[in-house]
Amino acid sequence: PAEPLAQRLAHLHAALADIVAKSKPDSAAVEETFVNRNPASALKLGQARGVCLSVPALYGVPVSEYGANKVKKSVVGAGHADKAQIEMMVRRLLPACGAIGADEADALAVAITHAHYGRTSHVILSGTSACE
């Protein structure tokens, strides 16, 4: 049987905190929540997203959020790409990743999007020049 939600969220928090503490990232990115037809699933996803947003913030790491269509457009070139297209493009862009599944491809697609837009967003929001 599955662990209680509180335990799963605690494991997520601990694992993510360990990764952030060890890797010391300059920034982080999370995909925005899409509308889910199942309210219970949407609530659980929202709680997990809360952990993913708050852990880097606790370490002083700025967190950006990207909508699913922006991620798809950034990686595939079309905002309504399907999972197979995303997976194929991620493997093409990051061949060293080897065999990856749909979940890993989605996470890497968010990272690719952040690499494209993260610095630009920071410059726009801070009012500094990209050359500084």
* 57 and 4 belong to one structural domain: yes
Position 132 pLDDT exceeds 90 = no
* 92 and 74 belong to one structural domain: yes
* 80 and 101 belong to one structural domain: yes
The rounded distance, in Å, linking the Cα atoms of 13 and 48 is 9
| Residue-wise pLDDT tens digits, 82-123 | 999 999 999 999 999 888 999 999 999 999 999 998 765 555
Token pair listed for 128: 């500094």
* 34 and 95 belong to one structural domain: no
Q: For residue 80, what pLDDT band results from cuts at 50, 70 and 90?
A: confident
Domain count of the chain?
2
* 39 and 21 belong to one structural domain: yes
- DSSP letter, residue 59: T
* 58 and 72 belong to one structural domain: no
The rounded distance, in Å, linking the Cα atoms of 72 and 93 is 14
* 105 and 122 belong to one structural domain: yes
The rounded distance, in Å, linking the Cα atoms of 118 and 82 is 24
| Residue-wise pLDDT tens digits, 44-71 | 999 999 999 999 999 999 999 999 999 9
The rounded distance, in Å, linking the Cα atoms of 70 and 44 is 23
Give the residue among 76, 50, 86, 78 at the shortest CA–CA distance from 65: 50
Position 15 pLDDT exceeds 70 = yes
Q: Domain range spanning residue 127?
A: 67-132
Please report which helix (H) or strand (E) contains residue 43, including its range: helix 39-58
* 100 and 78 belong to one structural domain: yes
Position 130 pLDDT exceeds 50 = no
